[in-house]
Amino acid sequence: MTNYTTEIKTSSFVPPSDSRQRVSQFLRNLQDQICQKLEAVDGEGTFQEDAWEREEGGGGRSRVMKAGKVFEQGGVGFSEVWGKDLPPSILVQRPEAAGHSFYAMGTSMVLHPRSPYIPTVHLNYRYFEAGPVWWFGGGVDLTPYYPFAEDAAHFHQTMKRACDQHHPEYYPTFKRWCDEYFYLKHRQETRGVGGIFFDYQDGRGTLYHGPNSNGQAAAYSNALGEIEPRNWEQLFAFVQDCGNSFLPAYLPIVERRQGMEYGDRQRQFQLYRRGRYVEFNLIYDRGTIFGLQTNGRTESILMSLPPMVRWEYSYQPEPNTPEAELYERFLKPQDWASWSPDVQ
Amino acid sequence: MTNYTTEIKTSSFVPPSDSRQRVSQFLRNLQDQICQKLEAVDGEGTFQEDAWEREEGGGGRSRVMKAGKVFEQGGVGFSEVWGKDLPPSILVQRPEAAGHSFYAMGTSMVLHPRSPYIPTVHLNYRYFEAGPVWWFGGGVDLTPYYPFAEDAAHFHQTMKRACDQHHPEYYPTFKRWCDEYFYLKHRQETRGVGGIFFDYQDGRGTLYHGPNSNGQAAAYSNALGEIEPRNWEQLFAFVQDCGNSFLPAYLPIVERRQGMEYGDRQRQFQLYRRGRYVEFNLIYDRGTIFGLQTNGRTESILMSLPPMVRWEYSYQPEPNTPEAELYERFLKPQDWASWSPDVQ
């Protein structure tokens, strides 16, 4: 990192001189806290760390739990990379970065629980600096296999509280963006029940920067908010609160579901639905594509893939089953934050 | 098909007036013959057919064998589609087709055998007409899980014989193109031992049209042949011989390997290696991307995916094992056609 030359030039939105150190420290701590707490919840599995370096600049630490009691596989990675040019997929959105060296870091996590009643969950927070521009991105989203409205509601309500402390437009905008981003166009399904997603947050007041390059359409995109400018400190505080909200958003769901018994039918459906996770990550995911385009560490990029997966030609759930309810209600955008047990 | 207006304008390379009917008949017959023979070889599994229509024009017939005795899953599809515009990924290679309606058909097959000793195999032959241009594409490639040089050699020698009957430059060019195309850049591995692959064959004498849009590099691409022009009939005869060579190239391998016993170690390695098939098809494959971009039938496009797959973070084969030999020798381009038992 010491060889990297700072080139931030925009005067009104300048990050502090120690921006990278502070974000890096936060993202490493987030990785540490999540791993510690997940090990405690699992009770058996432990994370094994691989530290790695990237030839073109930077490196990271990948931590994987294999064959835990609760988590069949979990990966939590931190990486910090720099180089000469950002890939074309990002320069389209940030043309000001063209011709400048870049600095990027992030913490990513995907958990694949053993029980089909515990949802898969994904988290990613990241920070970029490139010439005159910098931005934060990230989010968290939940992918249940079986439909429990209270789980989806708890997850969304927790993330909404974190967002609302910083700006009332954040949750509604980033919730919709999440539904749009984690969408499998070829299946016409959301990946799960969503959460929040944002990218290119540089304080300039435009919250929404989609749809992505795969052309997922957002009929509502024009209605999404423009807000007053935010400075670097305000954005960093927002991202910290989002990151710190993950454990309270997810762990109560794990605790609620881990004792429930399941059989082969639930297991087979889980393995089948995991195929959608693979399809999304390899066909659409911006983080995966960025990683592969920048010659990232393949094993770390693909540690999000499930340990065991099944495809079945032309599968359709039986009508009036929990599996059918997942498709009909949970794989379409819903206002989960407003859900309550009384008005389901 | 009757509503589609012919717009072939190039005078010296005009296809016959019944070009679509003839190619269509050949590709349907190829599907029929392959399915019949595979059912006979399997002895238990049968193909179930789904006929489907595409809203924008065209349709197909997808045939899937699930849970056969030899084939854990097999999909053989025929499709015939037409529409207003070819997707951008193809127009880059065929700018003459821009603004013209297109007609495309193909037969595709992927077989996932139960035994880890029998290779997965893929076949695809296709034909396009769009405004002033038409072309043939396709090929066949073999993906073994365990390293048997005689199987790779038999497969390549059979395809070389078919190619050599039509032009001495075909096999060397299309064998190299196959190695280049079925390459997982992020793993620095070929998908398997290859076979032949070609695209954009319109008789104009340029055999090689790569590397593809994913930037798989071909250091040898400049050395690949320019030949004298070929007419439509010559190309169609070549494609027919390639298609008809599939069964003699593959079935002797199945017969040789199907009696061999295997255990959990071999099965686990097979499931793991099938993950590479998924990665290739979803990240790189031109047919998959074309299908998804043209709003194709998702279940038919993705019936190439294996029925059961495993990912394992940071797996490495033990040195001096058959698994290690696969990586060291079989996942790198080799001159299999020249292999003989005496000089291995």
pLDDT at residue B3, as a whole number: 33
Q: Residue A127: beta bridge partners?
A: A105, A136
- Residue tagged active-site, from A112, A122, A154, A209: A122
Q: Any idea which of A285-289, B1-5, B76-80 has the lowest mean pLDDT? A: B1-5
What chain A holds in terms of domains, given with CATH numbers, is 19-343 (3.40.1500.10)
Task: Kindly list the residues from chain B whose CB atom is less than 8 angstroms away from the CB atom of residue A50.
Answer: 314
ipTM of the complex: 0.90
The DSSP result for B13-32, as a single string, is TPPPTTHHHHHHHHHHHHHH
- Reported as a pLDDT band with limits 50, 70 and 90, residue B223 is low
State how far the Cα of A322 lies from the Cα of A320, in Å rounded to an integer. Answer: 7
**For A12-41, what is each residue's pLDDT tens digit?**
578 999 999 999 999 999 999 999 999 999
Mean pLDDT within B158-167 = 98
State how far the Cα of B192 lies from the Cα of B179, in Å rounded to an integer. Answer: 9
Among partner residues A66, A282, A309, which is closest to B283 by beta-carbon distance? A282
Q: Any idea which of A18-27, A302-311, B286-295 has the lowest mean pLDDT? A: B286-295
B217: pLDDT strictly greater than 90 = no
> Please, how many CA atoms are within 13 Å of residue A225, restricted to the half-sphere of its CB?
17
Residue A335 burial (CB count, 10 A): 10
Mean pLDDT within B57-78 = 96
Is residue A44 exposed (0-12), middle (13-18) or buried (19+ Cβ within 10 Å)? Answer: exposed
* DSSP-derived secondary structure letter, A56: T
Interface of A with B in 286-305 (CB under 8 A): 292, 298-299, 301-303, 305
Q: Which two tokens stand for residue B235?
A: 């190309």
Nearest CA to B111 among B78, B155, B141?
B141
Q: Any idea which of A232-236, B31-35, B93-97, B189-193 has the lowest mean pLDDT? A: B93-97
B48: pLDDT strictly greater than 80 = yes
State how far the Cα of A129 lies from the Cα of A136, in Å rounded to an integer. Answer: 9
- Reported as a pLDDT band with limits 50, 70 and 90, residue B267 is very high
Among partner residues A283, A310, A314, which is closest to B299 by beta-carbon distance? A314
**For B182-208, what is each residue's pLDDT tens digit?**
999 999 999 999 999 999 999 988 898
Task: Kindly list the residues from chain A whose CB atom is less than 8 angstroms away from the CB atom of residue B278.
Answer: 278, 282, 309
B222: pLDDT strictly greater than 80 = no
Judged by CB atoms closer than 8 Å, whether chains meet at B310 and A314 is answered as: no
Query: Catalytic residue at A122?
Result: yes
φ, ψ for residue A259, nearest 5 deg: -90, -10
Among partner residues B298, B306, B311, which is closest to A186 by beta-carbon distance? B298
A5: pLDDT strictly greater than 90 = no
State how far the Cα of A238 lies from the Cα of A30, in Å rounded to an integer. Answer: 14
Task: Kindly list the residues from chain A whose CB atom is less than 8 angstroms away from the CB atom of residue B298.
Answer: 186-187
Residue B191 burial (CB count, 10 A): 26
Q: Any idea which of A156-165, A257-266, B216-225 has the lowest mean pLDDT? A: B216-225
pLDDT at residue A6, as a whole number: 38
Which of helix, strand or coil describes residue B218?
coil
Q: Residue A109: beta bridge partners?
A: A76, A123
Judged by CB atoms closer than 8 Å, whether chains meet at B314 and A282 is answered as: no
B314: pLDDT strictly greater than 60 = yes
Task: Kindly list the residues from chain B whose CB atom is less than 8 angstroms away from the CB atom of residue A62.
Answer: 313
Tell me the residue type at A139: G
Judged by CB atoms closer than 8 Å, whether chains meet at B302 and A311 is answered as: yes
Q: Which two tokens stand for residue A148?
A: 């429990």
pLDDT at residue B64, as a whole number: 98
- Reported as a pLDDT band with limits 50, 70 and 90, residue A293 is confident
Nearest CA to B305 among A270, A188, A313?
A313
Interface residue A64 vs chain B (CB under 8 A): yes
Mean pLDDT within B133-143 = 97
Q: State the smallest CA–CA distance between residue A130 and chain B in angstroms.
A: 25
Interface residue A278 vs chain B (CB under 8 A): yes
Task: Kindly list the residues from chain A whose CB atom is less than 8 angstroms away from the CB atom of residue B68.
Answer: none
Count of residues for chain B?
Answer: 344
- Residue tagged active-site, from B100, B112, B122, B156: B122
Kind and range of the H or E run holding A74: strand A71-83
Mean pLDDT within B40-64 = 95
**For B86-117, what is each residue's pLDDT tens digit?**
888 788 888 999 999 999 999 999 999 999 99
Q: Which two tokens stand for residue A42?
A: 């699992």
Judged by CB atoms closer than 8 Å, whether chains meet at A306 and B305 is answered as: no
Mean pLDDT within A320-326 = 98
Judged by CB atoms closer than 8 Å, whether chains meet at A50 and B292 is answered as: no
Print the SS3 string covering B259-297: CCCCCHHHHHHHHHHHHHHHHHHHHCCHHHHHHHHCCCC
- Tell me the pLDDT of chain B averaged across its residues: 91
Q: State the smallest CA–CA distance between residue A304 and chain B in angstroms.
A: 9
**For B230-244, what is each residue's pLDDT tens digit?**
999 999 999 999 999
Residue A276 burial (CB count, 10 A): 19
